[in-house]
Structures are given as C-alpha cells and as structure tokens.
Amino acid sequence: MKQEIIFRMKSPYRDDFKVWGFRFGEGKKTLAIVGAMRGDEVQQQFTCSQVVKNLMELEDAGKLMPGHEILVIPSANHFSMNINKRFWAMDNTDINRMFPGYEKGETTQRIAAAIFEQVRDYKYGIQLASFYMPGEFIPHVRMMDTGYQNLKLAKNFGLPYVLVRKPRPYDTTVLNYNWQVFGTQAFSIYSGDTDIINKDSAKIAWLSIFRFMHNMKIIDHNMHPGTCSYVLKDDDLETILSNQSGILYSLRGAGDEIKTGDLLAKILDPFTGETRSSILSPVDGTIFFAHHQPLIHQNTVMFRIVRF
C-alpha cells in the first residue's frame, strides 16, 4: 500500500487540511473508491476504512491480481465532520456538487478538481454515497441514466436492487455523473445509513465492493455470490408523502414486506399525543426507503415502496 496526500490546503487553525489516498497494486488504473464527501457521512467513512483495512490484508496475503491499481479516498471533508456539519464548514457548499471542479475556484471547487484529477482515468469508480433525505434504505447500487451506464456490471455487486434514474440538471455537477461522462463505469453504493455507524449495513456495503472486485478479477478472494439484483427505475417506486406534521411514530422499516392497507406509521400531535394521521400502504410491496427522523413536516417523503 502507498499512502499519499491527494490535496493539501493551509489552515488558519491547527493542522493543514489534507485529503489522503491509499493505492494498492500496480498496473492499469482499474478501480477508484471515494468515501465521505459530506461532514455527516460517518457510515460512508467507516465503510471505506474497512475497505482499506481488508485491502491491506489481501495485499499482504498476495491476493491482489497483478496488473491492477486500486485507489481509495476515504474522506474529502473531515473538517466539517469534526464540527458536525454536513457541508463545507466555511461557506456551507457541497463538494459533491462541484465536479469536475476548478483548480483556481472556490475551496470546494479546488477540492473536487484535485479528487477528480486523481480518479478520472480509472476503469471503474465506486462512490459511497448518502441521500439528501434522512432515512434508511435497503442497501443498493444506484446509477444515472446517462447512456453510458452498464447494468450488467452493476449486478456484480450482488445487492438486492440496482436503481437507475434520469439525471436532473443539478446532477451534472456530481461525481457519479462526471465519472460516466469521462468514460468511467461509475456506481454509487447506498448502505442505508449516514450519520450513524450501522455495522451490519456497512458490512453489506463493503462486502459488495469486494464481491465486485472478485467478479471483475481484480482480487483473488472467494466471495459469497450475494443476491440476484433486481433493476428498478424511479417509476417502479410508490412514494408516500406525509399529510400532516408532527411526531413520526414509525411501525415499519426498510426491507419490510407489506400488503395494501397495512399500517406503516402514525403522525402524532406533539402536545397531546393524539393520532393526527394513520399512514396506510396503498400497494403490496417491499419498503425501499423509510423516513426516520422523529419530527416530520407535511408533504415530506415518508416511504418509498417497491411494488410487487
């Protein structure tokens, strides 16, 4: 393993800001993995740290296939993580909305440019991503429908679902989109959590990455084949919005199989505890996403359900 500084910036307080990269193997630029780019992505950083740890063990055991280079960048925003902020601490901008970056621009543009310069030429790219809404997901692979995506490759992670969605205008500045446009087969892994460490879902995520490496003949390490991935599009998901605001009392979570009419949650009056609304499932299916913050506003996405 080679540890190096991908980006360095002088800091007015304490140590310099550094983005570290960990390189494994030698040869063609085969796989780049990027972890936390937001300050609350603790689960993503933990997952990436376990990838580094396991790659070190495989390299010591001689189980990295020759002719391949792997680059892992566990964190790009630990300044914000240190003070519990989601976005860049100084100006509240999002590094993952700054790609492909600009080396003479604002701070987050320069960080994005430095990272993209390092990862743009790899054959495969994996980002450990988080969702903008608080909640839990079924672990899955997400891809953008840019015309460059390869669904067959996405199934090599062995996760239950591969979600393909049409990019919106603001998506053109995220890492996944730019990776694909510049010729990298890019995948985003959603492990189901963000600001907490869930060891079970994190393990599902990092094992899926090693399963992909095994299937792509990057490592010589036998892996459980995982599950047969089901391809989804946004239209395949039933979205349930809250019709009241209040305290969210959830009864079902991500991964639960449900039937039409099942009680999924209650919205309670925060002063009296009375039920303002009972949320029932309109379809048979599996809960793909469940909102999990204790307070909820009206017209917020509460559940997304894979229809049977």
Task: Say yes or no: domain 2-228 is CATH 3.40.50.150.
Answer: no
| Structure-block tokens of residue 71 | 């680059």
- Please check the confidence at residue 11 and state whether its pLDDT lies above 80: no
pLDDT for 277: 97
| Structure-block tokens of residue 210 | 């090693």
Q: Which residues of the chain form CATH 3.40.630.10?
A: 2-228
- Is 168 buried (19+), middle (13-18) or exposed (0-12) by CB count in 10 A? exposed
Q: Which residue has the tokens 């990862």?
A: 119
Q: Has this prediction a pTM greater than 0.75?
A: yes
Q: Which residue type is seen at 217?
A: K
Higher pLDDT, 11 or 148: 148
Architecture of the structural domain at 235-307 = Beta Barrel (2.40)
Q: Which residues of the chain form CATH 2.40.50.100?
A: 235-307
- Please check the confidence at residue 159 and state whether its pLDDT lies above 90: yes
Q: Which residue has the tokens 């860049």?
A: 88
| Structure-block tokens of residue 6 | 């991908």
Query: H helices of 71-157, where?
Result: 78-82, 107-119, 151-154
Rounded CA separation 78/235 (Å): 36
Q: What number is the average pLDDT over the span 247-262? A: 96
